[in-house]
Amino acid sequence: MTWVWLVLVAIPVFAGDSKPAAPNRVREEQLSPERFSEIHAPLLESKKASAAEVTERVAKTLPKPTGVTRDYPRRNLIDRHIFGRMEQDGIQPAALSSDHEFIRRVTLDLTGRIPTASQVREFVASSDAGKRDKLIEQLLASEAFVDKWAYFFMDLFRANGKMGRGQNLFHYWMKENLRVDRPYDEVARAIVASSAKSNHVVAASNVIAREHVQGKPQPDDGKDLGMVQQLDTHDELAVLYGKTFLGVNFSCVSCHDGKSHLEKVNVYLTGRKRSDFYRFSSFLGNSRYLMYWEHGKPQSGEFLIDDGNPGYDSKGASMIRVPRFGGPADPAFILTGEKPRPGAEPRAELGRMITAHPQFARATVNTFWWRLMGQGIVEPYDEFDLSRQDARSLPAGWELQPSHPELLNEMAADFRRGGFRLKNLFRMVCRSTAYQLSARYDGEWKDSYSKYFARKFVRLLSAEELHDSITLATGRSASLKYGDVQVPMTMQLSGPGGGGDLKYFMQTFGQSNRNNPPKMLQGSPLQPLLLMQSPVVNDRVLAAKDSTVQRLVETYKTDDNRLVDEMFLGTLNRPASAVEKEISLNALQKDRVAGAQNLQWALLNLTEFFYNY
């Protein structure tokens, strides 16, 4: 889709004056169904489309960058593997991203926000050869980085109302961990081994509280363990730890043996039995989850978590799984068979075993590679098949799962040597030449190139990123509260906030309900319709309430060129093309306020705005 066409066909919503439209007014468009589908094809892709397929479609709508180079310096171990593999197999990578592409990409990836017009102008004008590395450091040190990745972890651990007031406490704790770059293995061990008289006072215990399985609707007395289904909660936590910290989905073997069920899905898990899962879950067997009750009422997600239970019962009843059939109930780590050391607390031992195993580092590296590169080295990022990681021991008839196994192993080793610091991992990926390739590919793209990371894969912005970028572009925010504090950005919240039009907008763009782990979002037909019609966009492009449009119109009263330049830099983070500039100026000459409002609206509806490329 080109901006020029959008401006030409749009019927001005603000015809003739600058009075705000009614909040629910719908902008009418002269769009046939065929033309609508053509323009918004990137948003209407099949949900099964791969990152490479989506990128190929979206890239056709992107402006061609200027001043790019095909010099590919190998800056770190990532480049040595990525470019070495392409060179070996005769694959030509895309050109490097322009400065305009890079600042928008890395700012969105590290902070979930677009850069401001002044930030773009200053960055592009700089002749400092190290400016990209310096920008990465600035972003890693920013509060916006803390906001984005704390929100990511809240989604990852599905932090919601099941934590009660502990949700905000857990959010605060994760932000503090990110601010000081606390080693991620320490964070994981704290979560696994946490105990608390109340999850409202011990932050790490809220992951455990969130996973509780409700038992009885009412207690027999104030100490009734049956209010929480103890065994099912053990199992839910074991599945969560496996998926989140090890990248392995043990859900199936928590109900039945892998054999005769998973042969076409996961070779490793076909060799795992339900009894293996019992022994994995048995590390949690002493854990006790006691719901607080006062005056016959539950206390809003408040739990005592300690180790007062007698152990795991492999014949115990289940509310959410097929009946347990019995078997060994002594703890043994599912990946190695290791047992806890004599006298050691089993949950602390489980945390030690998880974080000491190489798979913890591999899974963590792959998770954040997926977030930054648009596609995991192992796909899906949380569905490792541990029998398909090494070409030397690959089962007959199966393909190697990682696209770059040596790279994954080397990055995991570097992550361990660096003390499990997430900022080191982000820094390595973002500094690499591989990360800085353009999403555009000038040659003939072939599906087989996708496994090489021969171009930067695009991704649809998350609902939170999209909202916060609209806020920055328009200078207008929703009314959001974090406790008693008014905040402008959704990623400053501990969970989904807002109601009415904002809530519908966020849900349509895939805001997590935190019942399931986050997935990379792809498009739906509702999304382009909502971008064109929602008050979340339409009300904010008005020249009112100190919006960007109002400030630009009033600041540059006689300088239409500067107004257009500022709006393009502040919304798309690039200058207008010659044709775009001409159309924009013509629109402003006809009606300056209405033209500026429609220009802002059109830029927000371009494909390049709601994708990170």
**Does residue 533 register a pLDDT over 50?**
yes
Boundary (domain end) residue, out of 298, 326, 356: 356
Whether 171 and 318 share a structural domain: yes
Is residue 343 domain-resident?
yes
Q: Is residue 310 part of a domain?
A: yes
Q: If you search the block for the tokens 């703890």, which residue do you land on?
A: 331
Same domain, 319 and 195: yes
**pLDDT score for 5:** 39
Quick check: is 397 in a domain? Answer: no
pLDDT, one tens digit per residue, over 299-352 is 778 999 999 999 999 999 999 999 999 999 999 999 999 999 999 999 999 999
CA angle 87, 88, 92 (to 5 degrees): 35
The verdict on 340 and 220 lying in the same domain is: yes
Per-residue pLDDT tens over the stretch 143-173: 999 999 999 999 999 999 999 999 999 999 9
Question: Are 183 and 330 in a shared domain?
Answer: yes
Confidence (pLDDT) at 11:
30
On the question of pLDDT at 19 being above 60, the answer is no
Note whether 327 and 465 are same-domain residues.
no
Element (H, E) at 485: strand 485-487
- Please tell me whether residues 169 and 60 are part of one structural domain: no
| Domain assignment present for 362 | no
- Looking at the structure, do residues 348 and 471 belong to the same domain, yes or no? no
- The C-alpha atoms of residue 393 and residue 387 are separated, in whole angstroms, by 8
User: How far is it, in rounded angstroms, from Cα 220 to Cα 228?
Assistant: 12
461, exposed or middle or buried, with CB in 10 Å at 0-12, 13-18, 19+? buried
In sequence order, the 6+-apart residues with CB closer than 8 A to the CB of 230 are: 215, 287, 288, 289, 309
pLDDT band at 522 (very low <50, low <70, confident <90, very high): low
The pLDDT of residue 21 is above 50:
no
Question: 192 and 337: one domain?
Answer: yes
229 domain residue, yes or no: yes
Is the bond leading into 358 cis (omega within 30 degrees of zero)? no
Domain end call among 356, 373, 391: 356
pLDDT band at 18 (very low <50, low <70, confident <90, very high): very low
Query: Which domain range does residue 287 map to?
Result: 161-356
Across the chain, mean pLDDT equals 90
Last residue of a domain, one of 356, 387, 421: 356
Number of domains into which the chain is organized: 2
**What local confidence, expressed as pLDDT, does residue 36 receive?**
44
Is 405 part of a structural domain of the chain? Answer: no
Residue 317 lies in a domain: yes
Q: Is residue 7 part of a domain?
A: yes
Average pLDDT for 60-75 = 85
Claim to verify: residue 323 and residue 464 sit in the same structural domain: no
Quote the pLDDT of residue 48: 59
pLDDT(256) > 60: yes
- The residues, any chain, with a CB within 8 Å of residue 392's CB and separated by 6 or more, are none
